[in-house]
Amino acid sequence: MDNNVSNNTTEMNDEVFWLLFNEAETHCGDDYDKRKNFIIESLSRFSSADIIKFQKIYQAYHEKAYTNKMRDAATKLSERGTPDNVGFSMDGFDYFRCWLIGQGKEVYMAAIENPYSILSMDLKPHKYKCGYIGFDWEVYFAYYAYEKVTGRCIYDDMETADDEQL
């Protein structure tokens, strides 16, 4: 498989999911606005069914990172970047997990195996709200791509598809 997923028509799966994040980092570096647009544009080249698969994969990884140890490690990491804003609200921890997925498969999997591995990361501050970490817009990659491709809301169509499977 060609590693340039964004220019290929391929079926969405776990490997393609992570390749999209790797390509975004390669093409956009630390510019998170460009990464966001790159992933949305890349996803828009997939079928609506594949965009739904992307969202389901994303949700599964997001949920997998919802652990007490991960929250503790994220809080310790936040202390480095914003000592006046230690800890996370529910939304803040949600955004952290979005950020973690956006770091790519290697970082994500290492954090799943040992949440405290993120403490050794060399992070650069950026303009977003949590000092070093937290991107809420990553949740909406599939939403924007799906709407662009179909003109419909992905969540409405996902509910219909889920209902049909019951």
Q: What is the chain's pLDDT, residue by residue, as a tens digit (166 residues)?
A: 344 665 555 799 999 999 999 999 899 887 878 888 999 999 999 999 999 999 999 999 999 999 999 999 988 877 765 544 555 677 778 888 888 898 889 999 999 999 999 888 776 544 444 444 556 666 789 999 999 999 999 989 887 655 554 3
Q: What's the confidence (pLDDT) of residue 74?
A: 86
Phi and psi, residue 130, nearest 5°: -95, 20
CB-count exposure of residue 39 (10 Å: 0-12, 13-18, 19+): buried
Alpha-carbon span 122 to 28, nearest angstrom: 18
Report CA Rg, the chain: 16
Residue 112 CA, distance from chain mean position: 14
Q: What is the pTM assigned to this prediction?
A: 0.82
